[in-house]
């Protein structure tokens, strides 16, 4: 099954949401979203469901650290606020298009990837699309210089290293 991990974040700069999709071969598809309004995990869930629908995914495991949103999406509880009812209706409408799906709440410690992207989205204050490449370096970009032993310094015959001049 493909996996969908979602999260949201908000701070003094703004709000953000994230989508992390893990394909069958383990490839990561990541999206950080900057939001111009107060949000809930529903926005992240809807963004993820919309993206997975566009990718024609048929079997999907959905994960979020929001117990309430996962319980509402799975039908275990109903929201009381009219705005949350609208979100739930939209989520359930999209979920009907997936032949097979599971919904699971996960501890925050298991949702750190989505959490990091949501915080990135909440920290960005410009409204342009961007690509952010993340690269892993195994070694420094410069060669490390071997320490020089003073006994290895070659000087003209009869002179010490401290007495040589140019």
Q: Kindly report the CATH number assigned to the domain that includes residue 83.
A: 3.30.420.10
Task: Examine residue 132 and state whether it is found in any structural domain, yes or no.
Answer: no
- What is the pLDDT, as a whole number, of residue 54? 94
- Tell me how far apart the alpha carbons of residues 97 and 58 are, in angstroms, rounded to a whole number: 8
- What is the pLDDT, as a whole number, of residue 24? 95
Task: Examine residue 140 and state whether it is found in any structural domain, yes or no.
Answer: no
**Domain containing residue 23:** 2-123
pTM: 0.74
Task: Examine residue 116 and state whether it is found in any structural domain, yes or no.
Answer: yes
The pLDDT of 20-43, averaged and rounded, is 88
Task: Examine residue 47 and state whether it is found in any structural domain, yes or no.
Answer: yes
- The rounded percent of the chain whose pLDDT value lies above 90 is 35
The pLDDT of 71-80, averaged and rounded, is 89
φ/ψ of residue 28, rounded to 5: -100, 130
Task: Examine residue 158 and state whether it is found in any structural domain, yes or no.
Answer: no
Pairing of strands 28-35, 59-64: unpaired
Pairing of strands 2-11, 14-22: antiparallel
Nearest to 104 by CA among 77, 73, 58: 73
Kind and range of the H or E run holding 102? strand 100-105
Q: How confident is the model at residue 133 (pLDDT cuts 50, 70, 90)?
A: low
Task: Examine residue 25 and state whether it is found in any structural domain, yes or no.
Answer: yes
Identify the three-state secondary structure at position 103. Answer: strand
Using alpha carbons only, give the angle 30, 50, 116 rounded to the nearest 5 degrees: 30
- What is the pLDDT, as a whole number, of residue 127? 66
The pLDDT of 83-97, averaged and rounded, is 93
User: What is the domain count for the chain?
Assistant: 1
Task: Examine residue 165 and state whether it is found in any structural domain, yes or no.
Answer: no
The pLDDT of 151-162, averaged and rounded, is 62
Instruction: Give helix then strand counts, H and E, for the chain.
Output: 4, 5
The pLDDT of 127-148, averaged and rounded, is 71
């Amino acid at each position: 099954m493909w996996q969908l991990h979602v999260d949201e974040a908000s701070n003094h700069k703004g709000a953000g949401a994230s989508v992390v999709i893990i394909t069958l071969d383990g490839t990561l598809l990541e999206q950080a979203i900057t939001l111009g309004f107060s949000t809930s995990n529903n926005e992240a869930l809807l963004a993820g469901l919309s993206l997975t629908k566009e990718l024609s995914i048929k079997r999907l495991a959905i994960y979020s650290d929001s117990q309430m949103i996962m319980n509402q999406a799975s039908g275990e509880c109903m929201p009381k606020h009219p705005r949350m009812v609208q979100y739930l209706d939209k989520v359930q409408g999209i979920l009907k298009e997936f032949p097979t799906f599971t919904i699971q709440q996960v501890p925050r410690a298991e949702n750190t990837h989505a959490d990091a992207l949501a915080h990135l989205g909440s920290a960005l204050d410009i409204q342009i699309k961007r690509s952010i490449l993340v690269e892993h370096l195994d070694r420094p970009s410069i060669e490390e210089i071997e320490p020089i032993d003073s006994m290895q310094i070659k000087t003209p015959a009869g002179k010490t290293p401290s007495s040589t001049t140019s």
